[in-house]
Amino acid sequence: MVGVGVTAFPRSGPAEWLPGYRIACVRRTGDLSALRRTAEIFCLEERLGRPLQEARDSAALLSHPATRRYLGGLPRPVHLLLYQSSFEIERLAAAEGWRLLANPAALRVRASDRAFFQRLAASQGLPSVPGCIVSLGRFQERPYASWAREMGPRLAVQLPDVLQGGGRSTFFLENAEDHRRLLERIRSGAWMGRRLRRVSVHPLVPGEPSSVTGCVLGGRTRLAPLQRQVIDPPWIAGIESSGVFGGHSWGGERWSEAMEAEARRQALAVGRVLTSMGYRGVFGLDLLVDRARGRVIPVELNPRLTGAFPVLTQVQAARGETPLELLHLLSFLDPSGAGEAVPWQETGPGPLRGGHLVLFRGAGGLPAGPPPAGLYERGDTSETLRRVGEGADLRGIHGADQVILCDGPPLERDPSSRGPELDPLERVGRLLFPGPVLAPDGAFRPGVLDLVRRVLNHPPAL
């Protein structure tokens, strides 16, 4: 079995409990030595001895001759664990004889569509955010004042034809100037290389960004608890997109029992619909929790592995419960449903606890670039960090003054370099925390932003 990704860390979860597990990745990152303690890793940039600007996704990795030679030398059959499948990957798999541990691309594309999710919510009697999906031409013709009269002055605009998530196709509009700037960005009728046909427009409703991760296995849906999402973190100031995913926080939420139950009810309803479509494995349901009105509102379905992994796997293992990632594998390896015989520990002693934050290149490049990957603790002054060892698992953190930097940083490119070809939302690292990063009021817990600042602005002498 081979986990496939642009970087190695996101596919590292199964290595702990799956002997012989391997990872194939594009980027040469600073955490590879720590990850190689538990898995063999094929890194395309290492193999070629040079950086690869052109290889930006799993399809590019798998289509490269060097990767195909590596996979061709492994014992058969070769199973590939993917973030999500695509039509290109499926053509490659058919030619090479690979077995894909992911739902078919046609099913994923259908379930990812925002119009489909609106119909799903209506069919299951789930609450929804008011709004509409209109043609690109209609959106371009209609003035901001007209939208504001219908939905209020604060709007959330999404581009449903752009399937790449993480906030890259979402825009929050507060006034007519925001609307004008968005019209200018999409004036060509394309965004991120995709032709635009539709625009989704909704009022920007209040609520705490949250989500539930589920897994369809053997006709049943297993769920992890309600979790907080970090959206538009302060270290991405200057990036034009809105709703940018920046991590998760587990523990200390103080959700009411009613809200926990409502989130669970909605996720189970979505799981039933996905089951009826032949869907298997992990999915994510994004929610808004409105404590003031006592509401939980589903806003988006992610029919794939989500950005919570592999940190959610580490958090679940730390509590002694069966990781959803293991059940995800079983849903594909054992389609007959015999995986139901695997003991399922749904809850462990105490709540899930942990957090992770995503670091981005930023609008102008990083001022200094992240330090080397590893386990860090606060230094003796207000600016310094002290590296105390390797690490890529939050269970190796001991104390609130420590943090792990992994999932990067890239070793083959200068993180501070600038240029129009660089994506400001390119991820250059991830910070792991042993406890929640958000307080019950949604603010960052004391010391969290200080650690982020020290990592992003470490002195050259580190």
From 203, 199, 202, 201, select the one nearest 135 (Cα to Cα). 199
Q: Are residues 104 and 85 in contact, defined by beta-carbon separation less than 8 angstroms?
A: yes
CA distance 171 to 162: 13
pLDDT, one tens digit per residue, over 169-207 is 889 999 999 999 999 989 999 987 789 999 999 999 889
Give the other-Cβ count within 10 Å of 435's Cβ. 16
Last residue of a domain, one of 66, 86, 102: 102
Distances (CA, A) of 209 to 58, 227, 402: 28, 9, 26
The better pLDDT of the pair 364, 276 is held by 276
How many whole angstroms separate alpha carbon 243 and alpha carbon 230? 9
> Is 120 a member of any domain?
no
Q: What is the percent of the chain with per-residue pLDDT over 70, rounded to a whole number?
A: 89
Q: What is the mean pLDDT of residues 132-136?
A: 93
Per-residue confidence (pLDDT) for residue 419, from 0 to 100: 42
- Domain boundary (54, 86, 102) is at 102
181 and 243: one domain?
no
Q: Assign 462 a pLDDT band (cuts: 50, 70, 90).
A: very low
Q: Residue count of the chain, please give it.
A: 462
Distance between CA atoms of residues 195 and 449, nearest Å: 38
pLDDT band at residue 443 under the 50/70/90 scheme: very high
State the pLDDT at residue 436.
Answer: 95
CA distance linking residue 74 with residue 62, whole number of Å: 14
> Are 252 and 331 contained in the same domain?
yes
Per-residue pLDDT tens digits for 240-279: 778 889 999 999 777 888 999 999 999 999 999 999 999 9
> Is the residue at 405 inside a domain?
yes
For 245-260, the DSSP string reads EEEEEES-----HHHH
Helix orientation angle between 65-72 and 87-96, rounded to the nearest 10 degrees: 50
Prior bond of 323 cis (ω within 30°): no
On whether residue 115 sits in a domain, the answer given is no
> Pick from 383, 381, 402: which is nearest to 454 by CA?
383
Q: What is the pLDDT of residue 416?
A: 45
Looking at residue 417, its pLDDT comes to: 45
How many whole angstroms separate alpha carbon 109 and alpha carbon 75?
Answer: 31
User: Contact, 453 vs 357, CB < 8 A?
Assistant: no
AA letter at 112: S
pLDDT in tens, 382-426: 778 899 999 999 999 998 899 999 998 887 554 444 444 567 778
Instruction: Kindly state whether residues 54 and 185 are assigned to the same domain.
Output: no
| Domain contains 460 | yes
Rounded Cα gap, residues 52 and 171, in angstroms = 30
Write down the residue that tokens 């939302």 correspond to: 425
What is the greatest pairwise CA distance in the chain? 63
Q: pTM for this structure? A: 0.91
* Mean predicted confidence (pLDDT) in 366-386: 78
**Residues 298, 287: contact at Cβ < 8 Å?**
yes
Domain count, the chain: 4
Q: d(Cα 382, Cα 385) in Å, to the nearest integer? A: 9
Q: Is residue 107 part of a domain?
A: no
Indicate whether 342 and 288 sit together in one domain: yes
DSSP, collapsed to helix, strand or coil, labels residue 308 as: coil
Closest among 193, 197, 244 to 424, alpha carbons compared: 244
Q: Which domain holds residue 160?
A: 130-203
Q: Is there a domain that residue 27 lies in?
A: yes
> What local confidence, expressed as pLDDT, does residue 167 receive?
63
Both 169 and 234 in one domain: the answer is no
Least confident of 77-81, 316-320, 424-428: 424-428
**335 with 364, same domain?**
no
More confident residue, 256 or 44: 44
In sequence order, which ranges of 130-218 are alpha helices (DSSP H)?
A: 136-141, 144-151, 176-185
Asked whether residue 83 is assigned to any structural domain, the reply reads yes
Place 161 in a pLDDT band, splitting at 50, 70 and 90: confident
Q: Is 116 domain-assigned?
A: no
Across 79-88, 254-263, 297-306, 450-459, least confident range = 450-459
Same structural domain, 158 and 172: yes
Q: Do 245 and 186 share a domain, yes or no?
A: no
Residue pair 372/412 in contact (Cβ under 8 Å)? The answer is: no
What is the rounded CA–CA span in Å between residue 439 and residue 352? 14
pLDDT band at residue 341 using 50, 70 and 90 as cut-offs = low
Average pLDDT score over the chain? 88
DSSP letter (8 states) at residue 10: G
**Looking at 328, 351, 374, which one is the last position of a domain?**
351
Same domain, 245 and 319: yes
In whole angstroms, what separates CA 432 from the centre of its chain? Answer: 14
Same domain, 266 and 312: yes
Is residue 253 within 8 Å of 365, Cβ to Cβ? Answer: no
Q: Given this model, what pLDDT does residue 460 score?
A: 41
The rounded radius of gyration (Å) of the Cα atoms in the chain is: 22
Start-to-end C-alpha separation, the chain: 38
